[in-house]
Amino acid sequence: MLFHSPEYIAVFFPIVVSIYFFLMKTEKSLVGKIWLILASLAFYGYWATAQFPIILFSVFFNFAIGQLCENGKHKASRTQYYWILFGVIVNLSLLGYFKYKNFVLHNLNNLFSSGFQLEKLILPLAISFFTFQQIGYLLDRYHGRIKNSNFIDYFLFVCFFPQFIVGPIVLYSELIPQFQDKRNFRINKNNMILGVKAFAIGLVKKVYVADVIADITSHLLLNPNHATTIEAWVLSAAFAVQVYFDFSSYSDMAIGSALFFNIRLPMNFNSPFQAKSMDQLWRTWHITFHRVLLDFIYKPIVSSRYFHPSLVFFLALFMFFMAGLWHGANWNYALFGVAHGFGWIVCRMWQQYGFVLPEWISHILVFVWSSITSIIFRPASLITSVTLYSKMFAFDKEGPLKIINIFPDMPFFTLNGVGTTQGDLLSPINVLFFILVFSMTLMAPNSMELIGFVERRKHTLFCRIQRIFEKGLVSCGLSVEKFYSIVYGMGFGFAFLKVISMSPQEFFYFNF
C-alpha cells in the first residue's frame, strides 16, 4: 500500500489509528500492539501477500537467534558469538539469494560462458531494509544493549508499518521504549498536528515534485540520444533532485504517520544537497542507513587490532561499493557507490593537505558531483548512462542556442501544466519549475525544520525572508499560525485531489 494512495489516506490509516487508541484507552496495550502488527501485515500484504512466508520466517528466526545470543554478562561467550555469526550469515544469505543470485550467475555466464540457469525470482518487498534492521538488532543483543525483549515487541519493531517498507532503519532501543511509555497510550493533539504537517509536506513533495520530475524526464530517459548537451546536464541535476524528493517524501510521510501514534522515528534526510563536503553529504543522506554501515561495519573494522591506518581509503572505497550494490543487483548502483567513494577520498585528501575552499564553491562542487553521479544511479542500464555522459561532455551546437531561446514570449501557465511537454525538457514552464525546485533544494530549510520536528538552522537567507514575511502578516493583523495552517491544508488538499484523479506512482526506493 502506498502512503499517497486514497486507500491509505482515507480508509486504512484513520481506521488503524482509531482502533489503536480505543484499545490503548481500555488499558489493553498488548492487544493494541497486536492490532498494529496485524495492520502492518495488511499494509505489507496489500500487494505482497505471496511474500508473507519470507517475512514471517525472518521475524521468527531472528527473534530466536536473539534469545540464544542474549548477553547478560560483561563479556559474551564463544557460543553466543557463534550464534550471532550464524544469524548474520543466514540473514545475508536470504538477502543474497533473492536479490543477488541471478546477478552473480548472469555475470559468471558472461565471463566464463557457463550455462547457469537463471530463476524467475521475485524480490521480496523491503527485504534490504528489514534484513539490515534485524542484523542491527542481533548485534545490539549480542553486545548487551537490549535487555528482556519479548516476541510481540520484537514483531512490532520489525513490521511497524510507517517504517516497514523503505525505512527509516530504526534501532530497537529507539522504537520499542516509546511503545512502552504509558504517556503515549493517549491521543496527543500536538503530535497529531505535527504529523499532519509532516505528511502534508511529504505528499506535496511526492505528487508535485518527484512525480512531476519523473514525467518531465521520462522522454529523454527512454531516448537519451535525443538529448542536447544542455539537456543532459539539466537531466543529471533533475535525476539527483528527483531521487531526493521521492525518498525524503516517503520519510516525511513515515514520520508523520508514526507521530499519530506518538512515535518519533529518526530523521532520515537533513538537507544533503546543502552539504559542503562529500562526508557531510553522506551524513545527511539516508542517515539511518549510513548509521548502520558506520556503526556495525566500518567502526568495528577500523578499531580492530589487525587494521592498518594506511588501508582506510581502500576500506572506504569498499564500503561505498557495498552501499551502492545494496541499492540493487545492478552494476549501475555499484559504480555509483564507487564514484561517491572516489569523491569522498578526494575530499578527505583535500582536507588532509590543508586546502580550504570558500563554502559556496564547496557547496556547488558537492551538488555538481552528486548530479553527475546520478546519471549512473537513476537510469536502468549502463548504456543509457554512457549515452547521457557522451551528451554531457561532447558539446553540441544546439544546446547553448536552445537555453537562450526559451525565454522570449513565455506563455502564462498554471501548476497543472508543469511536465506536460514531455518532449521538451527545456520548455519555459519546465525551466521555471526547475529553478524553483533547485532553489528550494539548495537553500530552503528541509521539511523537518519547517514543521519544528528538529531545530531549524539560523541565519539562512530563507529564515531572514520568512521573518520579514511573518512580520508583514502580523502588521496586517493576521495570525501567522492560522496562515500556515491554511497553507498546509491547501497543500494537502490539492495533492490529495491529484492523487484521487490519477494512479499514484510508486516510490523509487521500492525497487530496493
Q: Is 477 left (phi over 0), alpha (psi -120 to 50) or beta?
A: left
Q: Where are the domains of the chain?
A: 6-187, 193-277+365-506
Burial class (CB in 10 A: 0-12, 13-18, 19+), 474: exposed
pTM to 2 decimal places? 0.89
Determine how many CB atoms are found less than 10 A away from the CB of residue 417. 14
Cell of 254: 513515515
Per-residue pLDDT of the chain (512 residues; tens, 9 = 90+): 788 889 999 999 999 999 999 998 877 789 999 999 999 999 998 877 778 899 999 999 999 999 888 765 556 678 888 999 999 999 999 999 999 999 999 899 988 888 888 888 888 888 989 999 999 999 988 888 888 889 999 999 999 999 998 879 999 999 999 999 989 999 999 999 999 999 999 999 999 999 999 888 888 888 888 888 888 999 999 999 999 999 999 999 999 999 999 999 999 999 899 898 888 998 999 999 988 888 888 888 888 888 888 888 898 899 999 999 888 888 889 999 999 999 999 888 888 888 888 888 888 999 999 999 999 887 768 888 888 999 888 755 555 444 444 444 333 333 444 444 445 788 888 889 998 998 888 888 888 988 888 877 765 677 777 778 888 888 888 787 888 888 888 988 988 888 888 777 777 666 65
Determine how many CB atoms are found less than 10 A away from the CB of residue 63. 22
Residue-level pLDDT at 458: 62
Using a CB cutoff of 8 Å and minimum separation of 24, what contacts does 318-325 make?
319/293, 320/344, 322/293, 323/289, 323/293, 325/100
Residue-level pLDDT at 36: 96
**Distance separating alpha carbons of residues 253 and 188, to the nearest angstrom:** 18
Residues in the chain: 512
Residue among 239, 257, 213 at smallest CA distance from 1? 257
Give every CB contact of residue 41 below 8 A, 6+ residues apart in sequence.
Answer: 52, 159
Integer-rounded Cα Rg, in Å, for the chain is: 24
Residue-level pLDDT at 199: 95
Cell of 197: 504537517
Cell of 422: 514531455
DSSP 119-173: P-PPPPTTHHHHHHHHHHHHHHHHTT---S--HHHHHHHHH-HHHHTT-----HH
Determine how many CB atoms are found less than 10 A away from the CB of residue 207. 22
Around 360, how many Cα atoms within 13 Å sit in the side-chain half-sphere? Answer: 1
